[in-house]
Structure 1
Amino acid sequence: MTVNSNSQKAADFSAALKNRRSIYAISKDVALSEERIEQIVEEAVLHTPSAFNSQSARVVVLFGAQHDKLWDITKETLRKIVPAENFASTDEKLNGFKNGFGTVLFFEDQQVIEGLQQQFALYKDNFPVWSGHSSGMLQFVVWTALSAEGLGGSLQHYNPLIDEEVKATWSLPGSWKLIAQLPFGQPTAAPGEKAFQPLEGRLKVFK
């Protein structure tokens, strides 16, 4: 492998990081196949690191009517708790997610985490924290990989409000804890400008 090829890979990776943004205006008009999207998620699940190699991540990908159903569930759940006079903006936001092509649901298997807590009692309090770290990395990997293929999406967190109905609807194990939802689709509008805080207060280097 040449230095130039390494540099190109580093540049490609850097570009993928910079291009990943929260994109809320999405549509179902996606050229990428469902099979390719499944492959992207599979590779992310396999290769994203986890503490003690616990592999506690669990992922569900919803397409088509199943994707639509998730956002109908979310809408009806929120309709029960959001005052009617304030629901229009919520309805519009959820319809925007439903307009997408699919949704990735991220879970962490609490049975795996509890097993590690029993096996390694010294680190008992750390395993839920490390589980969150692993899930965050997986979310970022999937999100960035989809972005690199031209798709747009945003991370949502309607858990725990929808957790039980989601598990019941798709017959998921009770030990799966819902962490985040990533609706994705074809971007129909560019994201706005992103403001950055000065690095001087965020990064320190000692030599």
Structure 2
Amino acid sequence: MAAKVHPDAYKGLGKTVSGFKAAYGTVMFFEDQVPLYALAAKNPLGDVSDGMHQYLVWTALELEGLGANLQHFNFMDEFSDEVAKRWDLPTSWKLKSQLVFGKPANGLVRKSERTYAPLQERVRLYG
């Protein structure tokens, strides 16, 4: 990775990646491009459904007391190629994201309390 990323960017990225070693595991999300392309005429937004899957898995992990963070290291072809090679995956599978999960070092806590505008100002219902 260091060879493919600008040195300044790698300084921060390297620390992040090193932190993943303490994780329990990683859920990798793939899309099989063959059926996806076949269905594209009927469902042009089919390639964005993976976001719902990522959210659902993340929520399930958090309900079990685990923390998670979503990564997109598939921006580097070398990374995606290495993943496919390591697990002998079909060439039609495209890596979309990686959900790293484990026990949070400080428990499941927010760094700061969040405040929100009243619901009536944020949501509008019609009909």
Normalising to structure 1: TM-score of the pair?
0.53
Structure 1 counterpart of 2:36: 113
User: What is the aligned residue count?
Assistant: 122
Structure 1 counterpart of 2:6: 83
Q: Secondary structure at the match of 2:23?
A: coil
CA distance, structure 1, for counterparts of residue 123 and residue 38 of structure 2 = 37
Structure 2 counterpart of 1:53: none
Structure 2 counterpart of 1:205: 125
Cα deviation for residue 167 of structure 1 reads: 0.6
Paired residues of 1:160 and 1:178 also in contact (CA < 8 A): no
Structure 1 counterpart of 2:68: 153
**Selected match of 2:88 from 152, 171, 192:** 171
CA distance, structure 2, for counterparts of residue 194 and residue 165 of structure 1 = 40
Instruction: Classify 1:201/1:157 alpha carbon distance in 2 versus 1 (closer, same or farther; 3 Å).
Output: farther
Structure 1 counterpart of 2:55: 140
Cα deviation for residue 178 of structure 1 reads: 0.9
Consecutive aligned runs of 4 or more in structure 1 exceeding 4 Å deviation: 194-197, 199-202
Q: In the alignment, is residue 130 of structure 1 matched against residue 46 of structure 2?
A: yes
CA distance, structure 2, for counterparts of residue 96 and residue 152 of structure 1 = 13
Report the identity percentage. 39
Q: Which structure: greater helix fraction?
A: 1
**Selected match of 2:104 from 164, 180, 187:** 187
CA distance, structure 2, for counterparts of residue 158 and residue 171 of structure 1 = 19
Give unmatched runs, 5+ long, in structure 2: none
Paired residues of 2:68 and 2:102 also in contact (CA < 8 A): yes
Normalising to structure 2: TM-score of the pair?
0.82
CA distance, structure 1, for counterparts of residue 115 and residue 31 of structure 2 = 31
Structure 2 counterpart of 1:29: none
**Selected match of 2:15 from 82, 89, 92:** 92
CA distance, structure 2, for counterparts of residue 194 and residue 113 of structure 1 = 41
1:130 partner amino acid: G
Cα deviation for residue 197 of structure 1 reads: 5.7
Q: Secondary structure at the match of 2:103?
A: strand
Structure 2 counterpart of 1:27: none
Cα deviation for residue 176 of structure 1 reads: 0.7
2:126 partner amino acid: F
CA distance, structure 2, for counterparts of residue 196 and residue 172 of structure 1 = 44
Q: Secondary structure at the match of 1:115?
A: helix
Give unmatched runs, 5+ long, in structure 1: 1-76
State the Cα RMSD in Å. 2.1
